[in-house]
Amino acid sequence: MDSIHHAVIILAAGLGKRMRSTKPKVLHELQRQPMIYYIIHAAQKLASNNIYVVVGYQADLVRIEILKFATVNFILQENQLGTGHAVQCVLPALSADISQVIILCGDTPLIRYDTLNHLLSTHVSSQSDVTVLVTRVDNPKGYGRIIFNEKNELAGIVEEADADPEQKKINIVNTGIYAVKRSVLARLLQKIDQNNVQKEFYLTDIIRYGRSEKLSIGTVMGKDPIEIIGINSIEDLQNIERLLHQRKIKLLDFDSHQQL
């Protein structure tokens, strides 16, 4: 797929309060590399130089560390007002020939190129306006829940903080990874607001507004939920280190076709 027509946005502006550290979350190391290293590595295979990293907390330090291993475009999110706001900061910087946007989180280092390529290929071939990478997990706590309507179409995504007891039982979850038509993304981001528990602009709200506009919204089911494990604490980091050690996986040498 010709990389000139799509761009990857990586959200990496947050502190990560649960890490209990002053170090930016995305710079915490997994197998001796900053976790964002692996995400950028997968993104480069997909979009070459069209990679935009949103920085905020200790932006200069994050820039310096990333530039040691990759050339990317940096976008500053001065005030961390949520994921929707972060993506909004990037849109004016995209070149005119970018028609599709893939959005990734800076704290999911196990995501692989094959999965991202499948997401983008499915999104484009189905001519969807928005496609969400979802996965089924044993324990959905902490994740946004995927809500399907009676036609088994994606109706919305409810964040953990806003979910009612029934919704919290849903075990198909949002990975935080999306493929979106650039023109659709720009329009939907103008509609989102801060009317939620966290008082943030949720990127997930583009699904709700997209559904109200009767846009084409699809999902791709991730095969391996391990790929989308988000690192939110030192304990999460240690658990992933242990898991990779048990499976004798070195991410630097890892082929995307191998099993995690």
CB 87 within 8 A of CB 9: yes
- Once rounded to an integer, what is the mean pLDDT over residues 106-133? 96
Domains located in the chain, CATH noted: 3-253 (3.90.550.10)
- Cβ neighbours of residue 208 closer than 8 Å, sequence gap 6 or more: 156, 157
Q: Residue 178's beta-bridge partner residues?
A: 103, 132
Query: What pTM value is reported for the model?
Result: 0.93
**Where in the sequence numbering do the catalytic residues fall?**
18
Please give the structure tokens belonging to residue 246. 């048990």
Q: 116: exposed, middle or buried (C-beta count within 10 Å: 0-12, 13-18, 19+)?
A: buried
In this predicted structure, the answer to whether residue 1 has a pLDDT above a threshold of 60 is no
pLDDT of residue 254: 67
Worst-scoring range by mean pLDDT, 7-16, 159-168, 194-203, 243-252?
A: 243-252
As a whole number of angstroms, the distance between CA 38 and CA 10 comes to: 12
- Only one residue has tokens 């692996």, namely 38
pLDDT of residue 193: 93
- Once rounded to an integer, what is the mean pLDDT over residues 184-208? 93
Residue-wise pLDDT tens digits, 83-100: 999 999 999 999 999 999
The DSSP 8-state label assigned to residue 144 in this structure reads P
Please give the structure tokens belonging to residue 70. 């990759």
